[in-house]
Amino acid sequence: MNPGRASELRRYLAGYGLSHVLTGAAFGAVYWQKLGARDTLGIVFALGFIQVLVHFRCFLYIGLRRSARDALQLLLLSTLIIGLMVSGTLVILVNLHRRMM
Amino acid sequence: MTDAHAWHVLFGNIDAHSWAFVRAWDNPTVSEVIAAVAAAIVVIAAAALGALTTALGKWRYLWMEWFTSLDPKKIAIMYVLIAFVMLFRAVIEGVLMRAQQAVAVNSPGFVSPEHFAQLFSTHGTIMVFFMAMPFIAGLFNYIVPLQIGARDVAFPLLNSISLWLTAGAAALLMASLVVGKFSTGGWTGYPPYTELGFSPGVGPDYWIWAVTLGSIGSNLTGLNVFVTIYKMRAPGMHLMRMPLFCWTALCTAILMIFAMPPLTVATALLALDRYLGYHFFTNDLGGNMMNYANLFWLFGHPEVYILILPAFGVYSEVVSTFSSKALYGYTSLAVATGAIAVLSFTVWVHHFFTMGQSADINGAFGIATMAIAVPTGVKIYDWIWTMFCGEVRFSVPMLYSLAFMVTFVLGGFSGIILAMPPLDFQVHNTVFIVAHFHNMLIPGVLYGLLAGYHFWFPKAFGFRLNERWGRIAWACWVAGFFLTFMPLYVLGLSGMVRRAQEVFEPAFRPWLFVSFGGASLLLCALVALLVQLWVSIRERADNQVFVGDPWDGRGLEWSLSAPPPEYAYAVVPVVHGRDTFFEAKRNLNARPPPERYADIALPRNSAAGVLIGISAAAAAFGLVWHIWWLAILGFTAIWAAVIGRSFARAVYRIVPAAAVERTEARWRHAIGDALPVSRACETTSANRGLARAPS
Amino acid sequence: MSADELGHVGSTLGERAVFGFWVFLMSDAVIFALLFATYGSLLDATAGGPTPAALFRIGDSLIETWLLLSSSFTFGMASIAMKYGNARENVGPLLAWSAVTVVLGLSFTGMELHDALTLFQQGAYPSRSGYLSVLFALVPFHGLHVVGGSIWLIVVMVQLLTFGRDVRVNMNMLRLGLFWHFLGIVWVAIFSVVYLQGLIR
């Protein structure tokens, strides 16, 4: 097999495998809930965040090399702006909720 | 199936009383008659245009040369045309509102409360989404590719789709004059007022779908401009060598990409509430109407920067050209533009300081709001220092720039006042706010658009605009603006509520009269622009500037003929620094003939954009009136066009090298024949578009 | 058409198409992000109606997740077949992997639809509460994207049969790949924020 093809195949398999592990761990943490609600939620979000990174790296080829640079910069800018929007929204609405309910 | 049921399936909720004419016939108040006249104008104008085109046999020409063209220069012109038509409607609506308020002091006036509410709703919606945004899209489409040395935008077909979505949405707005009524909820459409419970009619639905189509078009334009600037600059055109207009275009594009989606979410969720009984923003069952204001202004604040940044770009180009001097502080201008773009996502709460969140949150956003004024201040200083020790020419674009600098800064002061939550609380919902944002939008955005129009019109059409009528229009805009809006600051501080169809304080009357006088002047300004266009076309033979550089310009766009050939650049230029064309002129190497010409591939025309725009407008109309078969048909047609187009293979056509050479030769011959003119003669008919370098 | 012939030096048509699609995905990501934020703000807005814990079954969510995740993998296999094959030959494996992807994607949405209908029968419909409104906006919005992607993939398969592996089909597949994997990423967020969060006691 073409070496390029083999490395891409490995990449997809790695991503697929890692996603199974991360998904299984998250579902398992909730199914067999051993910790408190807050900690379990934290673990679920952390595992989800890692899995998102795995998808970006293994399926979408995001990395530091030149050909992926533009996409990475765009992702970072988007993360900044989305972060501002979502955190701002939650802070404002939680604050309003607390003051009005 | 009964007759009534069959009617309902075919025509949804449209009935006799949906028509403005029928409503006026049944209840001939002045208010209804005005509405019917407006509807009549729409119908007659559309019919007349259709008839004229048929009589002149121009349908094929329009279809082949304009509607299906993917040439960004043509798309740009169509955008600006839409903007001017909608400007005309919105200014008239503004004059009507000023007239009503001047007359309706302790009297009902001539416009009913509901009609008045529709007026301020359409006025705002049109000015933001269907005047300023299309105008900006037009300027970007024409100028950005030329300034970066590209022949086209990154996605020509997407460009056409954006145009036709905007046109379809504008058509929907015009249709709302004839059948049905528009929203009475303002351009912001706040629920729960715009929920079914309080607004059961079609008005908010017209608003939702028109704004949705327009905002999708703008989002895609932002995508197009962003990729164009990022990926299609000519060799040597580093980001820090781009004209400032392209920097503002890049940052505006980023804002369009990230700021239009919150609007899509806000209107989509409102639509779900209205159409499917969801409870996002309702009063009951868990709705949270405050999230609407949050989502809307997440869009709304960056939106005002989408509107102002391109104007800032125009001012940069105009001030440096008409000061015969390179822009002062290029780096600071570029950095300030980027800073404004990023900071614009941190201030949105100042649009709803009074909604009930804590003083700490208000304070944080107040500080951010004041901070965002700093980069704008940097720009103002940079423009002033550009003029300092330059040879300033008071051309029409420069007059707009100067009026902007003075008037916009005044408005900026009112913004600093509003940035302080306790002060904002005092003037919330008064006409002080109306004065403030018009003080930003008219001298800021509109003057910039008009300056750009005057500056680049010769490039696009090959002849200069009439100077005298340009100055008359300018004087009317400036005087009109002051007279219309300065009284509103006073009235706002005196407590006059905004969006008021009737006023109950006699002391307000003199101010309202002055304001109405100003509004009449603004209408004169608009008419003066139309007269200017008419006169300019009539005199165009005397004012031809075919060589292409009437102002001794600095950017690459001036290195082409006026109008440029369809392929723009016969050979993609290589750039060595900033203001590369200007430097080349000073080095007596302005238009070096290329060694050889090559075939040029241009996008073939495509009907996909037109079909998608028409289908989208039809689907939207169907959704407004609950004509479900039309909505489904329109939606399906959109995707059929997209999928069908994806099967096309030969999407380019070749302009042969020989044809390019012929076009270029004709131009170079004209250059040889033309006499270079000094700046003193640039507004005379001696100016053929060839600039004489100062000795 | 070579880059030079198109007069745009510095990037190829394919590079621009892919980058442009990334930009579009970022706009889409903002829409999803704000739906998530709205979800967060309406978690308590159950108005006396069904709560998340009452609605969700962990087994269904796990199966749906597996279906979508596997479809990302099979799409990856199709992408490899696209990239390393030549012209008209060997579209067989490419078509096969694509077909499996479509089946997995539509099975995913089929399950979601079934779940939704079950919920309606239990009295959990969107007009019941603010919480149910946002649930029935966020999840179906993602599901509609998956349906759209599946239709798109079918169109690509038809184009492969019609035109073989030409430049435009290739570009189409590249963009669809971005879209498909993006949807997988959004699903990770959905199962974390909606289903698992809802099932935590």
Same domain as A42, residue A77: no
Same domain as A54, residue A69: no
Would C107 be classed as within a structural domain?
A: yes
Cα distance between residue B207 and residue B266, in whole Å: 12
- Chain B positions touching C35 (Cβ under 8 A) are 265
Q: Does A70 touch chain B (CB under 8 A)?
A: yes
What are the DSSP calls for B367-433, one per residue?
A: HHHHHHHHHHHHHHHHHHHHHTTS-----HHHHHHHHHHHHHHHHHHHHHHHHSHHHHHHHTTBHHH
Residue B264 predicted with pLDDT over 80: yes
Cα distance between residue B511 and residue B491, in whole Å: 7
- Chain A positions touching C184 (Cβ under 8 A) are 55, 59
Of B304, B286, B300, residue with least CA distance to B441: B304
pLDDT one-digit tens code per residue, B61-80: 999 999 999 999 999 999 99
pLDDT band at C86 (very low <50, low <70, confident <90, very high): low
Range of the domain at A52: 1-61
A92 touches B349 (CB < 8 A): yes
CB pairs under 8 A between A and B: 39
Contacts of C185 (CB under 8 A, 6+ apart): A52, A55, A56
pLDDT at A4: 85
B321 touches B554 (CB < 8 A): yes
pLDDT at C4: 44
Three-class DSSP category at B603: strand
| B43 CB neighbour count, 10 Å cutoff | 15
pLDDT at B609: 97
Q: Does B264 touch chain A (CB under 8 A)?
A: no
Would C22 be classed as within a structural domain?
A: no
B504 touches B497 (CB < 8 A): no
Cis peptide bond prior to B573, omega within 30° of 0: no
C71 touches C145 (CB < 8 A): no
Q: Report DSSP state, residue B660.
A: H
pLDDT at B466: 97
- Chain C positions touching B154 (Cβ under 8 A) are 16, 20
Q: Both tokens of residue C192?
A: 């974390």
- Chain A positions touching B361 (Cβ under 8 A) are 91-92, 95
Of B400, B444, B440, residue with least CA distance to B416: B440
Beta-bridge partners for B601: B654
Residue C174 predicted with pLDDT over 90: yes
B658 touches B664 (CB < 8 A): no
Angle A46-A69-B139 (CA atoms, 0-180°, nearest 5)? 110
Contacts of B27 (CB under 8 A, 6+ apart): none
pLDDT at C87: 59
Minimum CA–CA partner of C176 in chain A = A60
Q: Report DSSP state, residue B325.
A: S
B310 touches B248 (CB < 8 A): yes
H-helix or E-strand spanning residue B653: strand B652-655
Beta-bridge partners for B15: none
Cα A73 to Cα A34, B230, B237, distances in angstroms: 39, 12, 20
Would C11 be classed as within a structural domain?
A: no
Radius of gyration of chain C measured on its C-alpha atoms: 20
Of C126, C124, C45, residue with least CA distance to B289: C45
H-helix or E-strand spanning residue B51: helix B30-55
H-helix or E-strand spanning residue B250: helix B244-276
**Which range, of A36-45, A58-67, B522-531, B616-625, averages the lowest pLDDT?**
A58-67
- Interface TM-score (ipTM) > 0.85: yes
C32 touches C128 (CB < 8 A): no
pLDDT one-digit tens code per residue, B233-259: 999 999 999 999 999 999 999 999 999
Residue B194, class by beta-carbon neighbours within 10 Å (0-12 exposed, 13-18 middle, 19+ buried)?
Answer: buried
Radius of gyration of chain A measured on its C-alpha atoms: 19
pLDDT at B695: 61
- Chain B positions touching A99 (Cβ under 8 A) are 356-358
Fill in the amino acid letter for B303: E
Cα distance between residue B690 and residue B186, in whole Å: 49
The C-alpha of A65 sits at a distance from chain C's nearest C-alpha, in angstroms, of 15
Three-class DSSP category at A53: helix
pLDDT one-digit tens code per residue, B122-139: 999 999 999 999 999 999
Of B291, B349, A41, residue with least CA distance to C37: B291
Same domain as A15, residue A46: yes
Same domain as A95, residue A74: yes
Cα distance between residue C153 and residue C169, in whole Å: 11
Q: Report, as an integer, the average pLDDT of C72-83.
A: 94
| A100 CB neighbour count, 10 Å cutoff | 11
pLDDT one-digit tens code per residue, B6-40: 999 999 999 999 999 999 999 999 999 999 999 99
Structural domain spans, chain B: 1-57, 58-544
Same domain as A72, residue A44: no
Question: Which residue in the block uniquely carries the two structure tokens 């025309």?
Answer: B605
List the subunits that have 3+ CB pairs under 8 angstroms with A: B, C
Cis peptide bond prior to B261, omega within 30° of 0: no
pLDDT at B563: 96
pLDDT at B49: 97
Q: Do A93 and B291 touch (CB under 8 A)?
A: yes
List the subunits that have 3+ CB pairs under 8 angstroms with B: A, C
Of B530, B413, B522, residue with least CA distance to B466: B530
> Was domain B58-544 assigned CATH 1.20.210.10?
yes
Same domain as A34, residue A18: yes
Q: Does A60 touch chain B (CB under 8 A)?
A: no
pLDDT one-digit tens code per residue, B146-181: 999 999 999 999 999 999 999 999 999 999 999 999
Measured N-to-C along each axis, helices C167-190 and C130-163 cross at an angle, to the nearest 10 degrees, of 160
CA B369 to chain centre: 24
Same domain as A7, residue A56: yes
Share of chain B above pLDDT 70, in %: 100
Residues B394-406 as b/e (b if ≥16 CB within 10 A, e otherwise) read ebbbbbbbbbbbe
pLDDT at C7: 45
C161 touches C7 (CB < 8 A): no
Of B500, B414, B494, B511, residue with least CA distance to B186: B500
pLDDT band at A101 (very low <50, low <70, confident <90, very high): confident
Beta-bridge partners for B475: none
pLDDT one-digit tens code per residue, C44-61: 999 889 999 889 999 999
Q: Do B294 and A92 touch (CB under 8 A)?
A: yes
pLDDT at A65: 85
Would C17 be classed as within a structural domain?
A: no
pLDDT band at B340 (very low <50, low <70, confident <90, very high): very high
B412 touches B436 (CB < 8 A): no
Contacts of C148 (CB under 8 A, 6+ apart): none
Same domain as A70, residue A37: no
Contacts of B25 (CB under 8 A, 6+ apart): B36
Q: Report, as an integer, the average pLDDT of B513-533.
A: 98
The C-alpha of B655 sits at a distance from chain C's nearest C-alpha, in angstroms, of 11
What are the DSSP calls for B480-544, one per residue?
A: HHHHHHHHHHHHHHTTPBSS-SSB--GGGHHHHHHHHHHHHHHHHHHHHHHHHHHHHHHTGGGGB
The C-alpha of C64 sits at a distance from chain A's nearest C-alpha, in angstroms, of 12
Q: Do A27 and C77 touch (CB under 8 A)?
A: no
Measured N-to-C along each axis, helices C91-121 and C130-163 cross at an angle, to the nearest 10 degrees, of 160
Same domain as A53, residue A75: no
Cα B563 to Cα A1, B159, B462, B623, C35, distances in angstroms: 56, 21, 5, 42, 47
Residue C6 predicted with pLDDT over 60: no
Same domain as A43, residue A30: yes
Q: Do A99 and B258 touch (CB under 8 A)?
A: no
The C-alpha of B602 sits at a distance from chain C's nearest C-alpha, in angstroms, of 7
Minimum CA–CA partner of B264 in chain C = C31
Quote the number of domains for chain A: 2
pLDDT at B19: 96
Q: Is B502 left (phi over 0), alpha (psi -120 to 50) or beta?
A: beta
**Per-residue H/E/C for chain C:** CCCCCCCCCCCCHHHHHHHHHHHHHHHHHHHHHHHHHHHHHCCCCCCCCCCHHHHCCHHHHHHHHHHHHHHHHHHHHHHHHHHHCCCCCCHHHHHHHHHHHHHHHHHHHHHHHHHHHHHHHCCCCHHHCHHHHHHHHHHHHHHHHHHHHHHHHHHHHHHHHHHCCCHHHHHHHHHHHHHHHHHHHHHHHHHHHHHHHHHCC
Cα dihedral B200, B206, B209, B211, rounded to 10, equals -120
Same domain as A91, residue A50: no
Q: Do A74 and C178 touch (CB under 8 A)?
A: no
Same domain as A7, residue A31: yes
- Chain B positions touching C38 (Cβ under 8 A) are 265, 269, 280, 291, 295
Beta-bridge partners for B497: B430
pLDDT one-digit tens code per residue, B182-228: 999 999 999 999 999 999 999 999 999 999 999 999 999 999 999 99
Q: Report, as an integer, the average pLDDT of B506-528.
A: 97
Quote the number of domains for chain C: 1
Q: Report, as an integer, the average pLDDT of B572-594.
A: 92
The C-alpha of A79 sits at a distance from chain B's nearest C-alpha, in angstroms, of 11
Angle B312-B314-B316 (CA atoms, 0-180°, nearest 5)? 70
- Chain C positions touching A20 (Cβ under 8 A) are 69
* Average pLDDT over chain B, rounded to an integer: 96
Considering only residues C10 and B465, tell me which one the structure prediction assigns the higher pLDDT. B465
